[in-house]
Amino acid sequence: MPADYSQRRKGEVRVMTALIGKIDPDSIDDAIAKGVYDGLKSALHKKPEEAIAEVEASGLQGRGGAGFPVGRKWKFVAAEKRTPRYIVCNADESEPLIFKDRVLIETNPHQLLAGIIIAGYACGASEAWIYIRGEYESQARRLESAIRQAKEKNLLGENILGSGFSFKTHVHRGAGAYICGEETALLESLEGKRGEPRLRPPFPPTYGFRGHPTAVNNVESFCAVPNILKNGADWWKSLSPYSTPGTKMYMLLGHVKNPSLFEAPFGLTLRQIIDNFGGGMQAGSKFKFALCGGAAGMIVDKSLLDVPIDFASSQKGISLGAGAFLICDQSVSPVAFLRELLHFFAFESCGKCTPCRVGTWRSLEVLNRMAEGKGIKGDTDELKTLAALMQDSSFCGLGQSVPIPMKSVLTHFEAEFEKTES
Amino acid sequence: MTNKSIVYKPISPEILEIAERHENQSEAVLEILKDIQSEHGGLSRESITDTARALHIPAHRPFGMATFFSMLSLEERRDVLRVCDGPACWLKRSTMDDGQQTMEGWSSMVCRTYIVSRTV
């Protein structure tokens, strides 16, 4: 049974999720009637540069976790002379804890399509690929049906709505690899190769799919775009009282009363997220620590409950990442928790570079014995050394971000790790 | 010295047909392997080399894919049982500390892995 996200929670600002439960996701007529494609129509009335300028003025930052400005990325692609240019939508969503893209595709696939077509128009691209996680079979089918319907309405295909702009969209299913969420690994996989990352730079806007300029963006970024084009950059900025404009999808999980998905402006504190949106901690639970962002996010203790969270707050020790917050109570041991994370990373390391391939397994070995209470003297230091090594010398974002939870949990809970050493 | 030419077995017509369906594009090697797997529950050695021959690519390409992606399997299997042990499901004890799996955590709301996926 899929969860029902149609109920608006107190304090929510719904933009991308506004039509959940009010729209039939399988009907393009309903989508057109509810104005999902209005943003595309107003974009087609503008020049491509004007559409990019509008997105850039809105200050929309990429929602995959890194927060790179979407408008600037599109500008890079549009500035490349070589054609064809491509748009790639990253719907791989392989990060544990994250399920926002699934909900966005499931409830309103036309919003995503509209965003992708706008991106194609703005960047002067001719084709787009939606790289969707292999497990999301029903969502992939829904997208394919949406693409078919859009073609019938001339929202895709040749000479879209008489604008002279032609565009094709395909759905590509992944096959279960965490690394394929990394943009260059995703492109490799899309080209029919093993999903191993490429050296960056050159970045995908210069050298992307098939070696051509490619804009790779997250599902949530694309979903925000039609809303911005429809209502204007100023409206998007006005949604948030905080310095980072717009809204963000948050996922709240773990030992809270109402784990859920919600949309709200930036700058929330962890306390607000737990109390206002999650209904507080479960009965008998006391907040001990939280994993913020995604699996490769920061682990924070109660000292950071009141820090406003945005893409820049990782400098203060709390990351936003892709927007997941896993709340753990006193019953969870940080040592065992980190072991579970490393277990995941060790299995998902693609094996291309040695620091990540070996470092994750070595850390897992150390954590296995620590979690059993059989740690050896010096194990905590060993973990710190491995973390520093992986961060400094790994090839791609996977290996470089495994140390983030390791280091942050060690700053807050070093004593618990040292207790397991004998 | 004898000069015997090597005679290869013909490519299985089934794989030729699947490759044809994907326009013999080497970019579609993942889809082709998935289609073969959905017919047989897994990828045999022959089906991998046949895929390579049908697409005129080296065999390491499809073999590399088959061993890289966790949804592809070199063993032919019928029913696949997957248990999500991601952090959120782990909190709900989808995996017990002694390594025994329980039913309890399987209904965790975020679990995105198919619990049981039939491959045949």
**pLDDT of A89 higher than 70:** yes
Residue of chain B minimizing CA distance to A96: B86
Q: Answer yes or no: are the C-beta atoms of B83 and B95 closer than 8 Å.
A: yes
Higher pLDDT, A394 or A10: A394
**DSSP letter string, A257-300:** SS-EEEEEES---HHHIIIIIS-SBPTT--EEEEEEESTTSEEE
The least confident of A201-205, A367-371, B78-82 is: B78-82
Which residues, in sequence order, are CB contacts of B50 under 8 Å at separation 6+? B11, B12, B15
How high is the pLDDT of residue A120? 97
Higher pLDDT, B115 or A60: A60
How high is the pLDDT of residue A271? 96
Q: How far lies A416's CA from each of A155, A229, A296, A338, A413, in Å?
A: 57, 51, 21, 12, 6
Residue type, A239: L
Q: For A222-278, how does the pLDDT look when each residue is reduced to its tens digit (9 = 90+)?
A: 999 999 999 999 999 999 888 889 999 999 999 999 888 999 999 999 999 999 999
Q: Residue A235: which H helix or E strand, with range?
A: helix A233-238
Which residues, in sequence order, are CB contacts of B82 under 8 Å at separation 6+? B113, B114, B115, B116, B117
Distance CA A267, CA A76 (A): 29
Residues of A at the B interface (Cβ-Cβ below 8 Å)?
A: 3, 96-97, 99, 102, 133-136, 173-177, 189-195, 251, 253-255, 259, 291, 295, 326, 328, 332, 336-337, 340-341, 343-344, 350
> What's the pLDDT band for B1 if we cut at 50, 70, 90?
low
> What's the pLDDT band for A299 if we cut at 50, 70, 90?
very high
How many Cβ atoms are within 10 Å of B101's Cβ, its own excluded? 14
How high is the pLDDT of residue B5? 83
> What's the pLDDT band for B6 if we cut at 50, 70, 90?
confident
Q: Which of A135, A173, A253 minimises the CB distance to B88?
A: A253
**pLDDT of B57 higher than 70:** yes
Question: Quick one: A164 exposed, middle or buried, by C-beta within 10 A (0-12, 13-18, 19+)?
Answer: exposed
Distance CA A320, CA B69 (A): 29
**Contact state of A344 with B87 under an 8 Å Cβ cutoff:** yes
**Contact state of B113 with A194 under an 8 Å Cβ cutoff:** no
Across the A:B interface, residue pairs with CB atoms under 8 Å apart total: 83
How high is the pLDDT of residue A4? 79
Distance CA A249, CA A263 (A): 4
From chain A, the residues in CB contact with B91 under 8 A are 253-255, 326, 328, 332
Q: How far lies B80's CA from each of A140, B25, B77, B91, B100, in Å?
A: 21, 29, 7, 23, 17
Q: Residue A35: which H helix or E strand, with range?
A: none
**Contact state of A193 with B109 under an 8 Å Cβ cutoff:** no
Q: Which of B31, B72, B87 minimises the CB distance to A97?
A: B87
State the Cα torsion A185-B118-B78-B27 to the nearest 10°.
Answer: -30
Number of H helices, E strands in chain B: 5, 2
> Peptide bond before A84: cis, by omega within 30 degrees of 0?
yes
ipTM confidence score: 0.88
Q: How far lies A112's CA from each of A89, A134, A401, in Å?
A: 9, 18, 28
How high is the pLDDT of residue B97? 44
Distance CA A24, CA A30 (A): 6
How high is the pLDDT of residue B91? 81
How high is the pLDDT of residue B94? 55
Q: Answer yes or no: are the C-beta atoms of A219 and A104 closer than 8 Å.
A: yes
Distance CA A14, CA A29 (A): 22
pTM value is 0.92
Which residues, in sequence order, are CB contacts of A295 under 8 Å at separation 6+? A95, A96, A97, A341, A344, A345, A405, B86, B87
Which residue reads 């029913």 in tokens?
Answer: B79
Outline where B1-111 has alpha helix (H).
13-21, 29-40, 45-55, 60-68, 87-91
Distance CA A73, CA A205 (A): 7
Q: Residue A53: which H helix or E strand, with range?
A: helix A48-58
The least confident of A220-229, A394-403, B11-20, B89-98 is: B89-98
Residue of chain B minimizing CA distance to A333: B91
Say which DSSP state B58 is in.
Answer: -
Shortest Cα distance, chain B CAs vs residue A107, angstroms: 16
Q: What is the mean pLDDT of chain A?
A: 94
Percent of chain A with pLDDT over 90: 90
Higher pLDDT, A237 or A65: A237
Q: Does B97 touch chain A (CB under 8 A)?
A: yes
**pLDDT of A36 higher than 80:** yes
Average pLDDT over residues A318-324: 93
Q: For A121-172, how does the pLDDT look when each residue is reduced to its tens digit (9 = 90+)?
A: 999 999 999 999 988 999 999 999 999 999 999 999 999 999 999 999 999 9
How high is the pLDDT of residue B103? 43
Closest CA to A167 of A185, A182, A154: A154
Q: For B78-119, how does the pLDDT look when each residue is reduced to its tens digit (9 = 90+)?
A: 777 776 777 887 887 654 444 444 444 343 333 444 333 333
**pLDDT of A5 higher than 80:** yes
Distance CA B10, CA B29 (A): 19
**pLDDT of A192 higher than 80:** yes
**pLDDT of B31 higher than 80:** yes
